[in-house]
Structure 1
Amino acid sequence: MPTRLASRVFAAITLGWLLAGAPLAHADERWIVLGGDIAATLAALDADANVVARDDTVLYPPQMAALPSVGYLRQLSAESVLSLQPDRVLAAGHAGPQEVLEQLAAVGVTVETINAPPTLDAIADKVRTVGRLTGRSEEGDALASELDQKLERLARLPPLPPTRAMFILQHSGLTPRVAGSDTAAHTALEAISLENAFAAMAGYQSVGAEALAKQAPELVIMSQRGLNALGGEAALWQLPGMALTPAGREQQLIVIDDQALLGFGPRAPDQLLTLRQAAEDLLGAPTTAQVSP
């Protein structure tokens, strides 16, 4: 059967199976998860018992991160996936190449692709979808409702004092790579009422001392992994141009879990509330954010 035809047949079978309601997995089924957000969702729904492998982006939970990897999410090979003898693959929408997923389906592997836009509003739908695909619709609906409530609570919080923030994703030598618009980090900053100092640029870009001084961020947000790679907080403040910024002069830093925050999985709402609380504490704003209701 040609690959394209197999893909169409598979899509039709999958749709019918979803409409009928997903059965519980057989105990001996072998699953591979592709995408950190999908892995975190499986764990949150207690639906990860059948997972035997993952891709390189799956760093949470620890027991799943310890499983064999089939490679990078966007550069998979059918050989690496099939070497783990999976019965089912649960993949984030940006997993690929698509040809590889079609090859897996053509040889009988059930490939479930969970397509969701990279937005906070899509988190609950993603959770519900994974719940249906794993026979945990009730648990998925309950978790989705809880996550929506947290995001709604975040949206109702009063604005923070006007503050220009810089989100450093990583660094390259002495040049930080920061988040502009059209990024998950920009969405996160907006969600907690911080202004992205580099919103005028698109995507993640490296910025030098002149740009830092010009945009004058008052607050730096960075992951612990990124900070460790840089050499610690002292090294951050020594980056060229950082001393010319209000953030550098006052050493205003918030350290976050970027995997939990930027993957738009089930951990994102709590991480946003934690980030909002940290910003309130640092800026001396009234305490309004709580991680637990």
Structure 2
Amino acid sequence: MKKNVVAGVLSLLMASTVCGGALAADARRIVSLGGTVTEIIYDLGMQDKLVADDQSSLYPEAATKLPRVGYYRAVPAEGVLSLKPDLVIASENAGPVAALDKVRSVGVNVVTVSDKPSIDSLYERIAQIADALNVPEKGESLTTHIKSTLQQAQAVPSESHRAVLILNRTGAKLMAGGDTTASAIMELAGLKNVLKSQRGYKPVSAESLLALKPEMIIVTKGSLEAAGGMDKFKADPAIAFTPAVKNNRIVVMDDLLALGMGPRVSVAISQLKAAAGHAK
């Protein structure tokens, strides 16, 4: 009798595990949390299963037309559940944890994928998403393509400038330090992040930028809009007297391209190299 009970429990556990795996592979209603997560799903040709994404999903344009469930770092569980998903694919930076746990608690499969500031993390993320959608061969093909275009972009000779990325999301300007995706992309493009020695994002001040002497300033489109346009951005006391402004080397980039290590990383590198100028 005891053996039968144990066998029954093991059988249920095995069935549960198999069912969980099948749920990911057979999902029909997917919510994506994270801009590059959404972009990868589109690149894998699985966008027809997407029923919602988050506010960081800025590319492709079709992704911006889907229902939004807030920002991936501040996900409302109720908003996600209202879309009745059978699968949520989330960046490892998505949260809060309690919200995702609540989504899991009602039986929704939540797959968390790598989202660190490195190219290897991108490749891992693609494989994880492709596996969750049961299209591993498409994941391998996408990774091969990215590696090829990345190699081509990096092979283009260009000048290596002292650079900084400036971000403005809440009204306060921030600079991208080390251990950020922005910094990793700058390095892949052959630039020197002047704030690499400091981790994360730091406030911008006239004194700090003058001391750092950036020869190139990268600003996201959203940040430039928040600043009131290029003229107002360049007139800001924290920016106006930098070598970057003097040499007219201000680069405006798509927010997701500059801040997300996604499938278009080679495009980001090409844009930065073009702005930096040809190596002498």
Q: What TM bracket, shorter-length normalisation? A: 0.7 to 0.9
Give the CA deviation at 1:268: 1.9
Contact 1:237 1:251 in 2 (8 A): no
Match of 1:225 in 2: 222
Give the CA deviation at 1:14: 7.0
SS at match of 1:32: strand
Give the CA deviation at 1:241: 4.2
Match of 1:6 in 2: none
Question: Are residue 79 (structure 1) and residue 75 (structure 2) matched?
Answer: no
Give the CA deviation at 1:274: 2.6
**What is the count of residue pairs matched by the alignment?**
267
Identify if the C-alpha distance between structure 1 residues 75 and 223 changes in structure 2 by more than 3 Å, giving closer, same or farther: closer
Match of 2:200 in 1: 203
Q: Distance in 2 between matches of 1:172 and 1:103?
A: 28
Contact 2:29 2:84 in 1 (8 A): yes
Q: In structure 2, what residue type is equivalent to 1:88?
A: L
SS at match of 1:84: coil
Match of 1:285 in 2: 279
Give the CA deviation at 1:155: 4.7
Give the CA deviation at 1:35: 0.9
Contact 1:216 1:244 in 2 (8 A): no
Give the CA deviation at 1:134: 1.2
Contact 1:171 1:230 in 2 (8 A): no
Question: Are residue 161 (structure 1) and residue 165 (structure 2) matched?
Answer: no
Contact 2:177 2:193 in 1 (8 A): yes
SS at match of 2:48: coil
Contact 1:116 1:126 in 2 (8 A): yes
Q: CA RMSD for the aligned pairs?
A: 2.6
Match of 1:4 in 2: none
Identify if the C-alpha distance between structure 1 residues 78 and 212 changes in structure 2 by more than 3 Å, giving closer, same or farther: closer
The worse-fitting range, judged by mean Cα deviation, of 71-80 and 41-50 is: 71-80
Task: For structure 2, list consecutive stretches of 5 or more residues without a partner in the other structure.
Answer: 1-12
Contact 2:31 2:87 in 1 (8 A): yes
Q: In structure 2, what residue type is equivalent to 1:141?
A: E
Give the CA deviation at 1:64: 2.0
Match of 1:263 in 2: 260
Structure 1, residues 226-272: CA drift from partner, whole Å, max 9, x if none? 11221221112211043322112222111111202321121223222
Q: In structure 2, what residue type is equivalent to 1:184?
A: T
Q: In structure 1, what residue type is equivalent to 2:271?
A: T
Match of 2:51 in 1: 52
TM score, norm. by length of structure 2: 0.85
Structure 1, residues 79-121: CA drift from partner, whole Å, max 9, x if none? 2211111111111111222232222222221221113432112
Contact 1:90 1:114 in 2 (8 A): yes
Task: For structure 1, list consecutive stretches of 5 or more residues without a partner in the other structure.
Answer: 1-8, 287-293
Give the CA deviation at 1:154: 4.3
Question: Are residue 13 (structure 1) and residue 17 (structure 2) matched?
Answer: yes
Contact 1:33 1:53 in 2 (8 A): yes
Contact 1:261 1:272 in 2 (8 A): no
Contact 2:178 2:199 in 1 (8 A): yes
Match of 1:131 in 2: 130
Any runs of at least 4 consecutive aligned residues in structure 1 with deviations exceeding 4 A, and if so which? 154-158
Give the CA deviation at 1:16: 7.8
Question: Are residue 107 (structure 1) and residue 106 (structure 2) matched?
Answer: yes
Q: Distance in 2 between matches of 1:234 and 1:172?
A: 20
Q: In structure 2, what residue type is equivalent to 1:95?
A: A
Match of 1:290 in 2: none
